[in-house]
Structure 1
């Protein structure tokens, strides 16, 4: 059991209970706390980011290709703006890359003008069409078969794990509470407040905000008696190429989007690798996102088709994530003021960018009937940097020991994560906070040492074998 609070936790009624510790839940907890609400975040897993938020392409989107006039566009652009405004104060990285939507055939090429027109309609005015010569001048390693493209200068790469960690860490530093291993199993609204039944006892809150992601419809069914949406998990498989591949590409390479998916992306990561993916595969299982050999081979081939030199680069890791798609493409917002209920659902691949904007939208709905006094001088904590393009802990004196040589993770970093205000609850959480066991050897050499340092500090005990899980 893990309970986090600032100071002594008093019993009583919370203003807001946020269900779900993904990126949207973390952003919502931060926004409502900074606005003065007494917040508790409930996460059923041992650690945050255990569901859809743990696997994505980590792009900070401008919204250039989002549906015109949509809530998704508004939240993406608000989230983009807020991330740019706060990332330095929270010590969050921004890898400035820009993006190119590349056309590989006549059909793609015919769509480029429409992509530019939509971007301009969405207020992203610096997007422009570029010819084949400029595409290749910007990306000399690209397959010369490219026919042209669209330049999107302000699309960038961020760290997908440190951002939500920072949002929730700031919420906690300003009074929010977090309960992990805390599944909401039922509850009732008495006209004034919710009494939530959880696996760790009853919790009372005036307002419930459902940010349960892949289980958003299940939470609605349990608490409201019916769900307004049906989650249809969409799996995305990814291939991660070795760090040497980062020299092959500067921009995020985007495909011309299809009606159902944005398609396969080739991009650098904040950790110094090159990522190819995702796929878009429907499945019923909400828990397990398995990779398969044929699909991974197809992704490797797709990456090499765009960047031929990738064919000679080793693959460091493979993984898959699930997106909480629904029967509609739009965000699924259910706001019921009379029942003090708000669902923020159906948030798919744009959630990392949009989370801060979704949180601001949620508070705007909430303040129509409840308003708190915003914090006058909120605490703004830093989170440790794990991005490759910024100074790392091993470069500072006194780090003690390099534990993970592939990712240059120090013992000091691991110990700091374990002693932090929001310590990892399992090996996945420790990896996401430090990058330990995530390099070329995938924990083969450092796993035992990581387990030794962690000891019994994790709520879910770490075995040497667990350190090798992908």
Structure 2
């Protein structure tokens, strides 16, 4: 962190949204600094998600969330290909198990069509079991969403961040923001941290589960984080053939429900739950009652899962708020941009969110980049190590903080207490 210069942008928070924003703004010529309070990047909400890249078929119509997810769909696959990151367009199958759920399928299909999410099709029971022969025979109907994709939820933002670092961005870990102060005369921020003070033309709050706390430091109170905990079970890779797509339940007004899906590394996962909590941390303790409920859901949905072993369990906490939509709030009078309340679709919308942020920086704040933009995205070489880290050629090493990545690329399981 260079305390002698004024950055174009300081980004607070090194989760998937912060990393994608750093990546996109740096590629467009902005001199950026990212501040992360933890010892490792992608260590909070982004270290406990599902790794699913959604199409937005069920996002609220007219919402900023839907817009950002759809914009992400336009750009993310080109980025994943150029960065040589793993992904699989496995598709998803939403299964109804009774007549009440069955009656909702045409409504969900119509919603998807209005949202311009193409290729969503209602399946007959024969078509369903042809696609998913291991499903319980108690289904009453289904719809297929072929565009649903799985990615590595940890490696994707980490490589984006390192791509930005190679192109001049600075990343500071173990750096806590204690206070901020706006200078009206030169319209810049002074950001006070435990490692010194830094100046910036614009501050972007991407601090996820702590977004409301950073807002208060800046003198705002736009929303309150209401953490929502989700727990998961991870199966041995021997279960990889029990499903061919992500098996979604029919959502309720309260939750999207528990999913049976595969990681990009072929581990089958059951989850998440949706539990309101006051704790912003992912507890290392897994509730045995919830574990049993998830396990029973998996066996009820795909009976042959009972033949396979659970190799790990983990918990994620989502930064929900009292609002259903994203809380992306621009304050041009003080050059402050809030990117909060991203809930469970931060990965699905990350590049779309970053593109929306770029438009705000350019046109609402009127801040021009101090460098030339980069025309190309280039592969960043890296190697997984035996110690559960990833090493980059420029001497940077990252601890794998997401259990899906760690379990997928190593033969042993990760202890939740090590996260």
Normalised to the residue count of structure 2, the TM-score between the two structures is 0.93
Equivalenced residues, count: 413
* Matching residue within 235, 249, 253 for 1:241: 235
Matched with 2:37 is 44
- Please state how far the C-alpha of 1:260 moved relative to its aligned partner: 2.2
Deviates more, 1:432-441 or 1:268-277: 432-441
Matched with 1:322 is 317
SS at match of 1:250: coil
Matched with 1:23 is 16
> Which residues of 2 match residues 260-279 of structure 1 at below 5 A?
260-279=254-273
Instruction: Please give the per-residue CA displacement for 1:382-412, whole angstroms capped at 9, x wherever unaligned.
Output: 254xxxxxxxx7xxxxxxxxxxxxxxx655x
Matched with 2:391 is 417
- Please state how far the C-alpha of 1:162 moved relative to its aligned partner: 1.0
SS at match of 1:88: helix
Matched with 1:370 is 367
Contact 1:101 1:253 in 2 (8 A): yes
Normalised to the residue count of structure 1, the TM-score between the two structures is 0.83
> Would you say 1:182 and 2:153 are equivalent positions?
no
Deviates more, 1:337-346 or 1:124-133: 124-133
Assess, with a 3 A threshold, how the Cα gap between structure 1 residues 100 and 250 changes in structure 2: closer, same or farther. Answer: same
Query: Take 2:55 and 2:377, find their aligned partners in 1: how far apart are those partners?
Result: 28
Matched with 1:118 is 111
Query: Take 1:266 and 1:96, find their aligned partners in 2: how far apart are those partners?
Result: 16
Matched with 1:458 is none
Instruction: Please give the per-residue CA displacement for 1:319-338, whole angstroms capped at 9, x wherever unaligned.
Output: 00000000111101121011
> Which residues of 2 match residues 75-90 of structure 1 at below 5 A?
75-90=68-83
Assess, with a 3 A threshold, how the Cα gap between structure 1 residues 197 and 325 changes in structure 2: closer, same or farther. Answer: same
Assess, with a 3 A threshold, how the Cα gap between structure 1 residues 376 and 324 changes in structure 2: closer, same or farther. Answer: closer
- Please state how far the C-alpha of 1:214 moved relative to its aligned partner: 0.2
> Which residues of 2 match residues 88-99 of structure 1 at below 5 A?
88-99=81-92
Q: Which sections of structure 2, spanning at least 5 residues, go unmatched?
A: none
Query: Take 2:302 and 2:103, find their aligned partners in 1: how far apart are those partners?
Result: 22
- Please state how far the C-alpha of 1:259 moved relative to its aligned partner: 1.6
SS at match of 2:161: helix
Assess, with a 3 A threshold, how the Cα gap between structure 1 residues 254 and 374 changes in structure 2: closer, same or farther. Answer: farther
> Which residues of 2 match residues 386-405 of structure 1 at below 5 A?
none
> Would you say 1:281 and 2:275 are equivalent positions?
yes
Contact 1:161 1:432 in 2 (8 A): no
* Matching residue within 114, 118, 124 for 1:131: 124
SS at match of 1:362: helix
Matched with 2:380 is 382
Matched with 2:418 is 469
Root mean square deviation, CA, Å: 2.2
- Please state how far the C-alpha of 1:173 moved relative to its aligned partner: 1.2
* Matching residue within 291, 299, 302 for 2:297: 302
- Please state how far the C-alpha of 1:102 moved relative to its aligned partner: 0.4
Contact 1:174 1:379 in 2 (8 A): no
Matched with 1:208 is 203
Query: Take 1:437 and 1:309, find their aligned partners in 2: how far apart are those partners?
Result: 21
Q: Which sections of structure 1, spanning at least 5 residues, go unmatched?
A: 4-8, 385-392, 394-408, 444-465
* Matching residue within 394, 408, 413 for 1:442: 413
Assess, with a 3 A threshold, how the Cα gap between structure 1 residues 66 and 414 changes in structure 2: closer, same or farther. Answer: closer
> Would you say 1:153 and 2:127 are equivalent positions?
no
Query: Take 2:394 and 2:275, find their aligned partners in 1: how far apart are those partners?
Result: 37
